[in-house]
Chain A
Amino acid sequence: MRIWTWEIYIITFVATALIFFSGAAIGFYVSSTVSNPIISQIDSANDNMLNMQLLLNSESNPELFCSMYNGLYPKFDSETWAIGERLEYLEMNKKAFDPSIKFKYYQLEYRDMLMAKKAVEICNESIENIIYIYSNKEGECPKCNEQGKELWYLRNAYQNSSDKIRIYSFDGSSANDSMIVDMLRQAYGFTSYPTIIVNDRVNGKFMTEQEIKDQIE
């Protein structure tokens, strides 16, 4: 007996394809609505950072730079961190994530890092500088998720104290695609993941919140 003709196979295929591609389209639409605000957040933070850089380059008034940096520090800190968290989550969980957004963010982080170093130098600020190198490549860094959590706890601990800490995350496996990550690789020579660089001291291993705190002290 044959009821299930080729026409019915094709109708079923078309119905399936309709649902399938509608699902995919909705997913991609939501994905772009998630990405767009991140891009504008990065752009806005970059603009603020650029203004500060201009102020610093003019060198006419270091006091003005220091007072402005001090005032804007909480904003820089929270903005950059929040963007980073969202990006890391999207990247780890959504394989279809656009990497160009990440590279844009690295520029922001790098600017922020240079600015923080200048603030330490010129304004006598005390800012602990942590660089976290992770990898999202399958099997390359099984402990990265855990390391991210430890850094999150560390940052939360510093939020409640008067000491300042900046944590910058970079995907080490993207060194060939991002000039900034390549520069960091050449500067610090990291080869394994996770790598935690605490105030320029390179630790090519997983570190708990306490271990990082101990090294800072």
Chain B
Amino acid sequence: MEIIMVVLYISAFILLYLTITFVVLFALKHNILHFKPKDLEDKDLKTLSVVLPVYNEGEALRKTLDAILNCDYPKEKLEVLIVDDGSKDNSHEIAKEYEKHGFVAIRKEKNSGASDSKNTGIFRAKGELVATLDSDSVIEKDAFRKLSCYFEEEGVSAVTAAIRVREPKNIVEKVQAIEYDSILFLRRLMMAVDSIYVTPGGLSMFRTEDIRKIGGFDINSLTEDQEIALKLQKAGKKIRCALDAFVYTSAMPNLDMLVKQRIRWVRGGIWNRVKHKDLFSSDYGDFLYFGMMTDILVFIPSIIMISSIIYSFFKPQMMWMERIGVDNFVLGFLSDPLFIITASMVTVTFLWLVYMVNSIRGHANEKKLNIIKEFPEVFSYLFLFGYLWPYIWVASLLKEITGSKRTWSTR
């Protein structure tokens, strides 16, 4: 057998192994999906400070602020800090309008990034808990209340919300909606092995004392929401994931912006791992495998498999169909063991994806996935979006190696 075939078989095995890992984790820990902390009465809720970093958000900011205003968290226990990061538009003026509702509008003259703005709020916060959210996040009424209940468990320092895509319209946004739901499901599963490695900027809640102790957000990281989770893991703190505290965020509206966003995520991930390389140790238990290693293990075999699939695709397969007939063509495909293995992997992933998305939609009281109607987005997610990732990894690695400028912008 040629060396390339050996490499392809090994890559397929690793990818299949990682897919099965999560299926086994689910088989062992499926009860985690039904876990719910005890609801608290108003008097038992902790005081909460909400920190909202804002930059050039304009009128869209009102939606986020109105949602916070309408939340069911007791007003006397809620503090809202809107930190304007030197916006050039009227964002700060809009924030000031909400001061009449008790919100605090803070203005930074110079733009210094979201992390710095969050830190400004965190170190001024009076609450026992602090929630950070993006300026385009729209929370459900009970999201803060549901998140805060998780802090009754000892050692919990952070809780992530159920972040979903708000009103996806085009195919790119719809694919991201499926992705967000599956990520949410997996994050909850990772909770079972204490391996959550990101507290998303969309909405996460922290114990104020703990987040201050670790110095708040790193202003140099492109993905500060991951960096802070790594710091908490290192400090031996617990991170939980709420499946019913919903927050809706905007997805990237086109492929170009999506790729830029993902390159930023991956670059941030590489930088964070290098910074916290001491986490690559068995001292951190399952976090080493699930939190630090799985996406690195996926990367190389994915590149190999996907390049091989694309190579085969560009070979003039259709011409062969004409030359030898459809029956022989299909038989030829089926006679390739690698095709059968890849097909098994895609089948497992497909069923797994449908289950994950339906589970999250069930929690959000939404209709189940309609495979026929939503075929374009499911297909794009499985076959096109997945293909993008390895190349995003390569682009990100190259940018990190060549020292390309680190930027938050997706425009």
Contacts and interface: CB of A to CB of B under 8 A. Distances in A.
Answer yes or no: are A and B bound together in one complex: yes
B289 to A, nearest CB: 6
A213 interface: no
Given A24-B341, A94-B336, A96-B5, A16 B328 contact: no
A27 B342 CA distance: 11
Nearest to B317: A93
A152 interface: yes
Contacts of A149: 316, 319, 323
A90 B334 CA distance: 11
A15 B329 CA distance: 31
11 contacts: A2-B286, A3-B286, A16-B16, A23-B337, A30-B335, A30-B340, A31-B336, A86-B324, A89-B332, A93-B333, A152-B323
A157 interface: no
B351 interface: no
Given A8-B28, A28-B337, A93-B336, A1 B16 contact: no
Interface string B328-354: 110111111111110110001000000
B366 interface: no
A138 B3 CA distance: 12
A1 B286 contact: yes
B320 A27 contact: no
A82 B221 CA distance: 62
B94 interface: no
Contacts of A152: 323
Contacts of B194: 1
B339 to A, nearest CB: 7
Nearest to B238: A1
A202 to B, nearest CB: 26
A15 B20 contact: yes
Contacts of B20: 12, 15-16, 19
Interface residues of A, number: 37
Interface of A: 1-4, 8, 11-13, 15-16, 19-20, 22-28, 30-31, 33-34, 85-86, 89-90, 92-96, 138, 145, 148-149, 152
A28 B340 CA distance: 10
B162 to A, nearest CB: 23
B337 A96 contact: yes
A31 B328 CA distance: 11
Contacts of A86: 324, 328
A8 B335 CA distance: 33
Given A1-B194, A12-B17, A93 B332 contact: yes
Nearest to B333: A93
Given A3-B286, A12-B17, A95-B2, A24 B337 contact: yes
Contact of B324 (A2, A25, A85, A96): A85
Given A4-B286, A8-B28, A34-B335, A23 B193 contact: no
The 4 closest A-B pairs by CB, nearest first: A27-B337, A31-B335, A23-B341, A23-B340
A90 B332 contact: yes
A126 to B, nearest CB: 26
Interface of B: 1-2, 4-5, 12-13, 16-17, 20-21, 23-25, 28-29, 192-194, 285-287, 289-290, 312, 315-317, 319-320, 323-324, 328-329, 331-341, 343-344, 348
A89 B341 contact: no
A25 B28 CA distance: 29
A89 B329 contact: yes
A20 B336 contact: no
Contacts of A12: 17, 20-21, 24
B365 to A, nearest CB: 31
B338 A27 contact: yes
B327 to A, nearest CB: 10
Contacts of B21: 12
Contacts of B348: 19
Given A26-B334, A27-B339, 17 more contacts: A3-B29, A4-B193, A4-B290, A8-B28, A13-B17, A15-B24, A20-B341, A27-B336, A30-B340, A89-B329, A92-B315, A95-B2, A95-B4, A95-B5, A145-B315, A149-B316, A152-B323
A8 B286 CA distance: 12
B335 to A, nearest CB: 4
B193 A1 contact: yes
A205 B343 CA distance: 39
B337 A90 contact: no
Contacts of B4: 95, 138
Contacts of B331: 30, 33-34
B193 to A, nearest CB: 5
A27 B341 CA distance: 8
A176 B192 CA distance: 59
A56 to B, nearest CB: 32
Interface centre among B28, B324, B340, B344 (most CB of A within 10 A): B340
Which of A16, A26, A30 counts the most chain B CB atoms within 10 A? A16
Contacts of A26: 334, 337, 340
B17 A16 contact: yes
Given A31-B335, A94-B332, A16 B13 contact: yes
A145 B315 CA distance: 9
A3 B341 contact: no
Given A1-B285, A12-B17, A15-B24, A24 B320 contact: no
Nearest to A14: B20
Given A12-B21, A20-B12, A86-B328, A96 B336 contact: yes
B95 to A, nearest CB: 41
